[in-house]
Amino acid sequence: DFGDVVLHLFDRDARKFYDLELLWGDAPKVPWAAGPAPRPPVARG
C-alpha cells in the first residue's frame, strides 16, 4: 500500500483463494500499457 496505490502480486492459486476480483470488483479499472524497454547501461572507463 503506497498512498493511493495498492499492488497485489499473487500466483494463480493464491489469486483464486483470496478472490480479489470479488473484493475489488466495483473499483474503477485503470488502463495500463508498458513503457519503452530500458536502455542498456553505458560502459564507462
Per-residue pLDDT of the chain (45 residues; tens, 9 = 90+): 567 877 878 899 998 999 888 888 898 888 888 888 889 889 887
Retrieve residue 40's grid coordinates. Answer: 542498456
Distance between first and last Cα of the chain: 41
15 CB neighbour count, 10 Å cutoff: 13
The model's pTM is: 0.39
pLDDT of residue 2: 61
Could you give the C-alpha distances from 45 to 17, 42, in angstroms and in order?
52, 10
